[in-house]
Homo-oligomer: A and B are copies of this chain.
Amino acid sequence: MLTLQYIGTNYHGWQVQPNAVTVQQCVQDAIERVTGVRSPLTGCSRTDAGVHAEMFCCVTETEATIPCDKLVAALNAWLPLDMAVTDCREVTADFHPRYDARGKQYQYRIWNRPARNPFLEGRALHVKRPLDVAKMQRAAKDFLGKHDFSAFCAVGSEVEDRVRTVTQSTVTAENGMVTFTVAADGFLYNMVRIMVGTLLDIESGKLAEGCIPSLLSAGDREAAGHTAPACGLYLTQVYYDG
Contact = CB atoms under 8 A, between A and B. Distances in A.
B118 A72 contact: no
A123 B81 CA distance: 12
A: interface residue count bin: 20 to 34
A7 interface: yes
Query: How many copies altogether?
Result: 2
A154 interface: no
Interface string A62-74: 0000000100110
A199 to B, nearest CB: 24
A237 to B, nearest CB: 14
Contacts of A31: none
Contacts of A69: 114
A5 B83 contact: no
Interface of A: 5-7, 52, 54, 69, 72-73, 76, 81-87, 113-119, 121, 123
